[in-house]
Amino acid sequence: MSTTGKTTTATQLPSFFARYQEPIDSALRAELARQRLPLYETHRYYMGWTDLDGKPSSAVGGKRFRPTLALLAADAAGGGTDRAMPVAVALEYVHNFSLIHDDLEDQDRVRHHRPTVWAVWGESTAIVSGNAMLKIADNAMERLLDVGVRVDVALEAKRSLTANYLRMMEGQYLDIHFETVGTITVEQYLDMIERKTGALIETAIFLGSFVGRPPGPDHGFSEDLRSVGYELGRVFQIRDDILGVWGGKETGKPVGADIERKKKALPAVHALNAATGAARERITEIFKKPELDETDVSDALQVMEDLGTEQYCQSLANERWRRAKSVIQSLKLAGDTAKDLDELGEFLLVRTS
């Protein structure tokens, strides 16, 4: 049940994702087909196309969330998805570059129910694999000229993508840094997620519209869509943080997983700042300990329950969606894309995986 009163199936992607999946997958495969060295077998495996023996696989390689947003934005602008496809491909490869390195940084051995690159090929190979995937994304952006995007638009799109994957790296640094400090403010946390998670989501919607729109004056349309992406990026990460603490069986994680890792996600930030008296002493003590046991996790969950932390986090997500929805309603979007964006926002608010 949506928190905004609209019924949504929380375990399924919005229906419009289906219409973009096949062309996205074909374009992603075509981009990587140009590369033949063994290094790129790590990419084919990570994208879900092959197994560890290099044989074809039907494994799920992710939702293709960012490229789908780029193509949806191109449709919303009344353009064509063909011009936006190089951006969609680049975004997915940038995203997977970050995941390969995230897996190594967090020492996560499994993603999408399969061993991660570093767990199979080692840490050094994972670093090289991730870096190479980022350069594949840069190569994909070179194809903008091949699909009829003007030179000035293509150059601006490339500049924007580079600037925003740098923002993503800045956010990752902040996320790592926050693990070493006692407390951070909600404002610091929001700044971090705007970079780490929000940058690519915001950029996907902006660039899809920017390169996909019909020729002619833009009158700020793409910037308005960028603001929608900005808010949706926050909704996405806040909901991710909620699932990291209370997701349970629906996410495959135990309740309190992010607490056990002492992750300074929004629930921890809220509890550390809002608790008083004995509760403040206890939650502070918990996040200072080198390792946590079941009692520590249980006590932290109790502090959060007493503070209404889950409700607080969800209220922030709801507010961000209300802001995005207001912009969507103010724009003249082509076809049924306003409905699609509405479905997306409602899904992000209540998603369970």
Distances (CA, A) of 220 to 125, 179, 224, 332: 43, 39, 6, 12
> Domain residues of the chain, as ranges?
17-350
The whole-angstrom separation of Cα 188 and Cα 191 is: 5
pLDDT tens, position by position, for the chain (353 residues)? 344 444 444 568 999 999 999 999 999 999 999 898 999 999 999 999 999 999 999 887 789 999 999 999 999 999 889 999 999 999 999 999 999 999 999 899 998 889 999 999 999 999 999 999 999 999 999 999 999 999 999 999 999 999 999 999 999 999 989 988 878 999 999 999 999 999 999 999 999 999 998 876 566 899 999 999 999 999 999 999 999 999 855 555 678 989 998 989 999 999 999 999 999 999 999 999 999 999 999 999 999 999 999 999 999 999 999 999 999 999 999 999 999 999 999 999 999 88
Q: Which superfamily does CATH assign the domain made up of 17-350 to? A: Farnesyl Diphosphate Synthase (1.10.600.10)
What are the φ/ψ torsions at residue 111 (nearest 5 degrees)?
A: -145, 135
pTM value is 0.92
The CA distance from 242 to 219, in Å, is 37
